Amino acid sequence: MKFRPGSFPWLVAHDLRLGFARARSIFGDARPATILAVVAAIVAVFHLLAWPAALWFIRVDGEAGASALNYPALACAALFVLPWLVSQALSNATRALYSRGDLDLLLASPLSARTVLAARALAIAIESLMSVGVFLFPLANMAALLGGWRWLAIYPALAAGGLLATGAGLAVTVALFALVGPKRTRFVSQILATFIASAFVLSAQLVNVLPEELRDSVVATFNHPQSGSWLDRDGFIWLPARAASGESAALALWCGAAVLVFAVSAVALGPAFMASARRSAGVGGATGKTRASARARRFRAGVGVALRRKEWLLLRRDPFLASQLLLQIVYTLPISVVIWRSLGPNGSLALAVSPCIVVLAAQISASLAWLAVSSEDAPDFLASAPVSRAQVERNKLAAVFAPLGLFLAAPCLALAFVEPDMALLTVVFALGAAASTALLNMWRPHPGRRSDMMRRHQQSKIIGLMEHMIALCWAVATVLAIMMSFTTLLPIALVAALLWCNHPRGAPRAAIAG
Amino acid sequence: MSSPVSALKLTGLAKSFGASIAVDCLDLDIRAGEFYALLGPNGAGKTTTLRMVAGLLSADAGGIEIFGINARRAPIEAKRITAWLPDEPMLYDKLNPLEYLEFVAGLWSIDASEAQSRARELCEMLDLWKHRHERCEGFSRGMKQKVALAGALIHNPRLLMLDEPLTGLDAAIARQVKDILVERVRAGAAIILTTHILEVAERLADRIGIIQRGRLIAEGTLAQLRGVSGSSQSTLEDVFLRLTQATELAA
């Protein structure tokens, strides 16, 4: 379908085409037929996975009638979907603001800025929607196939959620821009998006941590709320859940509210967003901190100092690093809570916490090592300097370990208060894990941009797999060591074998030429 | 009278990428205190040659000597007295000019206090001082080029290799850069420059080498090149086009 050039749908189609091109880059140089086959296979697998959930929906419908719903389950779903949508919208809105792309071109064109923003906002909403829809639409389809047609309401309910989240995302971005300024908005919004996205993970774990009696009481309150209370099923809080389950009045109200919020945001915040976009174009200059510290500082000499200092400055100023590392921590820590609870009241804290610390050390070290080696901004410059490759690598490794120490200090110190010997063991194994994944990334570099850190495994899935395997091996080794088993040497030997296979042995490396 | 010191001596330098020959038995001798312009059409092998001298590419065959140091055998020592400035400035977006210069000075093991005063001098000379605390990510291409040039000069290199150094610079700064380079040459450094702006080579270079298909097809002063091409009043552009087209036809 062709739209009139410059029209609103034409702009939306343009933005979606760019989004599609970004998504397509995951497949590298694969032919369209291959991509289509892979996508079809993924869609089929998701539909198969959705089958049991759809069956359960239909069973609940059949047992208690269409008006009865499993409210705690739907509440959990809403708790996951809505924060995720807001987080995605926030990230996408910030990206639209800072990754200039074609925004300068569009703003310089005779198109109305309001139309440009509205189109971009709608594209953001669609992209955010698709990030969740890929999991939930198969569920709606399977439920409909099994006779539960009302579950097709997930489509419009989710679309409304996308619009609402985008409105909120735009508002938060513009507010942040006004509150903390253009230089810090990107950083703050990344952290905020991380926390919002992790709301579900934390909430789910919160339920696990609660004492059994309290948990039963919470579930009972959700299932049988008092009339007139904030949990009353006629209240606004259940609106998204009722809309998704096909209740027509709720669906109409939910969609209407979403369209209204989106339209008001796009129209009212349009000029502010565009002004922010224009101001963000000049971002990159000095921050007050840089200015003050640089004025006070004297030059320091030495190759090692220069290399490490440069890495630390770049890590500290990476706008995405903090949020991405935080996300890894937030998603890993609840696992230790689950293990701890499953061990019972007399379980060893080290057994629950140490493997998670070791896995975190491996992951963080891998990320930092990739940043230091593969996303080196000026590899040719380093290669033209009178410094040996070994010297560069040694100092980069040292630079990676220092921030890692900061991340691990708090949990290891906390563990030391309870089980000091186990804390020492954890530190040793965490350092081993960190060194292993850092060496893997140094020996098998895959050049990429810093902002692509979390997507780096798309470039080399084998390296990603090995990274995870090394982390897992060290975690298993830690557990076995805590249990005083000599078999702890087996996973360590496997790691050593993996590293030995990846050692370059004099072969030329891509990132740092010699 | 002693013969002038050889700053860069290439003997039979060769490099191929698969079946494609980039540099084909290249011999070159550039003397200390000489401004040498290496010209050639796109893909002639200029940048490949400079990258081999800078230690970024290993040569398939031949020798590279920088002020008597065998660069293939002792690359670290050779790099210590060399600077390479490519056409795309090699900078760190998140560092400011002072931090970048401190980093470069650290890599070249320059004394800290000397590096600091040198950094200030270069920043002032290149009109970077007022931007010294701003991160490079916000700089224009010309500004980035100036920061990279300051980085190339901070360790007082004896051999300076410049790949299209004036790209993106405004007229005033380009003039300033040219003056700095001439001053370097007067102080005894050797400069090898590649450029497509032939007027720059015509005005600055003591000698000009024209490279095509990885081979040196002509070398000498402008007057000597005019003689080779058989046109005594021609501009360097005319000479360059005549020589390269003749070689192309012969090939």
Query: Over the stretch A490-502, which tens digit does the pLDDT of each residue have?
Result: 999 999 999 999 8
- B26 — pLDDT class (breaks 50, 70, 90): very high
Q: Label residue A368 exposed, middle or buried (CB < 10 Å: 0-12, 13-18, 19+).
A: buried
**Across A131-202, where does the E strand assignment appear?**
none
CB-defined contacts A:B, below 8 A: 120
Q: Which residues in chain B are contacts of A302 at CB distance < 8 A?
A: 106, 109
For residue B211, list its beta bridge partners. Answer: B216
- B93 — pLDDT class (breaks 50, 70, 90): confident
pLDDT value for A201 = 67
B window 84-113, beta carbon within 8 A of A: 84, 86, 90-96, 98-99, 102-113
- A99 — pLDDT class (breaks 50, 70, 90): low
Q: Find, in chain B, the residue whose alpha carbon is nearest to that of A305.
A: B106
For B38-50, write each residue's pLDDT tens digit. Answer: 999 988 899 899 9
Mean pLDDT computed over B10-14? 94
Q: CA separation (Å) from B210 to A59, A316, A418, B45? A: 83, 47, 75, 10
Q: Do B138 and A388 touch (CB under 8 A)?
A: no
Q: Which candidate in A187, A299, A509 is best for mutational testing of the B interface (most B CBs within 10 A)?
A: A299
Q: Which residues in chain B are contacts of A314 at CB distance < 8 A?
A: 92, 94-95
pLDDT value for B157 = 93
CA-wise closest residue to A396 among A422, A420, A368: A368
- Mean pLDDT, chain A, rounded, equals 80
For B124-135, write each residue's pLDDT tens digit. Answer: 988 899 998 888
pLDDT value for A444 = 85
Mean pLDDT computed over B199-214? 89
Measured between CB atoms, does A301 come within 8 Å of chain B?
Answer: yes
Of A284, A306, A513, the CB nearest to B137: A284
Q: Do A384 and B132 touch (CB under 8 A)?
A: no
Count CA atoms closer than 13 A to B155's CA, side-chain side. 27
Mean pLDDT computed over A414-436? 91
Count of CB atoms situated within 10 Å of the CB of A505 = 7
Measured between CB atoms, does A288 come within 8 Å of chain B?
Answer: no
Q: Tell me which of A193 and B77 has the higher pLDDT.
A: B77
Q: Do A286 and B116 touch (CB under 8 A)?
A: no
Highest mean predicted confidence (pLDDT) among A19-23, A103-107, A503-507, B146-150 = B146-150
DSSP structural state of residue B166: T
Q: Label residue A212 exposed, middle or buried (CB < 10 Å: 0-12, 13-18, 19+).
A: exposed
Residues 6 or more apart in contact with residue A170 via CB below 8 angstroms: A89, A93, A121, A124, A265, A266, A269, A273
Q: Which residues in chain B are contacts of A514 at CB distance < 8 A?
A: 55, 75
Q: Which candidate in B60, B133, B159 is best for mutational testing of the A interface (most A CBs within 10 A)?
A: B133
What span, in angstroms and rounded, lies between the C-alpha atoms of B14 and B23? 5
Count of CB atoms situated within 10 Å of the CB of A398 = 13
Q: Which amino acid is at A190?
A: Q
CA-wise closest residue to A448 among A3, A155, A28: A28
Q: Do B56 and A384 touch (CB under 8 A)?
A: yes
A184: pLDDT strictly greater than 50: yes
pLDDT value for A179 = 84
Mean pLDDT computed over B156-174? 85
Mean pLDDT computed over A119-127? 88
Q: Which residue has the tokens 């997930």?
A: A154
Q: Do B90 and A314 touch (CB under 8 A)?
A: no
Count of CB atoms situated within 10 Å of the CB of A67 = 9
Q: Which residue has the tokens 């080498």?
A: B209
Measured between CB atoms, does B82 come within 8 Å of chain A?
Answer: yes
A68: pLDDT strictly greater than 60: no
- Tell me the ipTM for this assembly: 0.76
Distance from CA of B79 to the nearest CA of A (A): 5
For A373-410, write each residue's pLDDT tens digit. Answer: 887 888 888 888 998 888 888 898 888 888 888 878 88
DSSP structural state of residue B234: -
pLDDT value for B14 = 94
A192: pLDDT strictly greater than 70: yes
A223: pLDDT strictly greater than 80: no
What span, in angstroms and rounded, lies between the C-alpha atoms of A405 and A39? 41
Q: Which candidate in B99, B104, B132 is best for mutational testing of the A interface (most A CBs within 10 A)?
A: B99
Q: Do B55 and A284 touch (CB under 8 A)?
A: no
DSSP structural state of residue A283: T
Mean pLDDT computed over A26-39? 80
A289: pLDDT strictly greater than 60: no
Mean pLDDT computed over B146-161? 92
Q: Which residues in chain B are contacts of A286 at CB distance < 8 A?
A: 96, 133-135
pLDDT value for A39 = 87
Q: Do B133 and A310 touch (CB under 8 A)?
A: no
Q: Do B134 and A286 touch (CB under 8 A)?
A: yes
B window 156-215, beta carbon within 8 A of A: none
Q: Tell me which of A117 and B193 has the higher pLDDT.
A: B193
Torsion over CA: A274, A279, A283, A289 (sign): negative
Q: Do B135 and A290 touch (CB under 8 A)?
A: yes
Q: What is the 3-state secondary structure (H, E, C) of A138-152?
A: HHHHHHHHCCCHHHH
Torsion of CA B145, B149, B151, B157, to 10 degrees: 160
For B63-90, write each residue's pLDDT tens digit. Answer: 999 999 999 999 889 999 999 998 888 8
Sheet holding B207-212, edge to edge: B82-85, B159-163, B190-194, B35-39, B207-212, B215-220
Share of chain A above pLDDT 90, in %: 16
pLDDT value for B11 = 94
